[in-house]
Structure 1
Amino acid sequence: MAPSEIIQAKKRRTRKDYAYHLDYRTRWSDNDMYGHLNNSNYAFLIDSIVNTYLITHCGLNPFNNSSSSSTGSTTSNHIGLVVSSYCDYFASVSFPDVLDLGLRVVKLGSTSVTYEVGVFKRGEESVKAVGGFTHVFVGKEGMKPAKGGMDERIRKGLEKLVVEDSREAKL
């Protein structure tokens, strides 16, 4: 696909294109001097939905150095490092907007995953921004790529978000 076709495809995203959703209530401090959400806050939003999903659905526990939590459940010995990121902006949002963030996986490798996040304003159907990043999973100790691939629990959780259409996965 040509770059302009990729942007147009992203502009057509709807909430149903994303399997997992998270609300975010903007704050006064999120605005920049132009009265809209500061660009750097989009990276915060993308990071927040991705890590919320990894912690709540994939067993990731970045705060625990051992492989079991205080409840006795097994957690991953892997963490994800961001190796690339992007965001395409289509319309402005600002305080006091409530946002609906949507998450999907566009590529799932053996040790890496590429996420896409759609940013929607509550009550509006048009996507305001589409961004994402790529994580490479590494062992907590040594920070080397995960031998044998990412933790199975992480993989199983991420598989639930994978985009099925191979044409879409190239976006």
Structure 2
Amino acid sequence: MATPALKARRRSDYKFQLEYRTRWSDNDMYHHVNNSVYYYLFDSVVNTYLIQHCSLHPPTSPQIGLVVHSHCDYLAPIEFPAVVDLALRVRKLGNSSVTYEIAVFERGHEEVKAVGEFIHVFVDRRSRRPAKNGMSEELQKGLERLLADRPRL
């Protein structure tokens, strides 16, 4: 996606948000949040939503999500101490896959600091193959609520 479009993102473009307070250990030697921490945050906001709104229970659910793709566009640094808002929406929802978009905003600043993409393919826990009928109904319905082209809840 083009950088100008990403830089135009606002909190209101996303339907689920989660707060994160940076830790001293999140910083790298350049005194900003390390790139690897962003991926940790992406995983956290996605899985928080799945657990709270899609009835996913990672240790026992019959289906699990496997990450098949992820990337991040870093637009501006964040440094400790900071509170960030992780904003989540679904850009594409398929039969067994979902493409999430996650934006990272620093509290007190309107401009987006990073925008990431994360693709899950939901598979049977045992076989690691997509289910014949795709993802579960609860999962599908929960993810539909985050579709980018739907009105905000």
- TM-score between both structures, scaled by the size of structure 2: 0.95
Once the two structures are superposed, the pairs formed by residues 81-96 of structure 1 within 5 Å of their partners are: 81-96=66-81
TM-superposition CA deviations, 1:80-99 (whole Å, max 9, x none) = 00000010011000111000
Correspondent of 2:106 among 97, 109, 121 = 121
1:140 aligns with 2:136: no
Using the aligned pairs only, state the percent identity.
Answer: 59
Matched, 1:32 2:17: no
For the pair 1:61 / 2:46, whether they are aligned, the reply is: no
1:107-118 correspondence runs (5 A): 107-118=92-103
Unpaired runs of at least 5, structure 1 = 65-75, 166-171
Read off the aligned partner of 2:24 and give its amino acid letter. W
Tell me the SS of whatever aligns to 2:84.
strand
Rounded Cα–Cα distance in structure 2 between residues aligned with 1:62 and 1:139: 12
Aligned counterparts, 1:34-53, within 5 A: 34-53=30-49
Deviation at 1:63, TM superposition (A): 1.5
Give 1:154's match in structure 2, choosing from 131, 135, 139. Answer: 139
Alpha-carbon distance in 2 for matches of 1:132, 1:30: 20
* CA RMSD between the two structures: 1.0
1:41-76 deviations in whole A, cap 9, x for unaligned?
Answer: 000000000000000100111112xxxxxxxxxxx4
1:99 aligned to 2:99? no
1:80 pairs with 2:65: yes
Using the alignment, how far apart are the partners of 2:24 and 2:5 within structure 1?
31
| Count of aligned positions | 150
Give the match's secondary structure for 1:93. Answer: coil
State the alpha-carbon separation in 2 of the partners of residues 19 and 151 from structure 1: 21
> Gaps spanning 5+ residues in structure 2: where?
none
Quote the offset at 1:132 in angstroms.
Answer: 1.8
Which 4+ runs in 1 deviate beyond 6 A? none
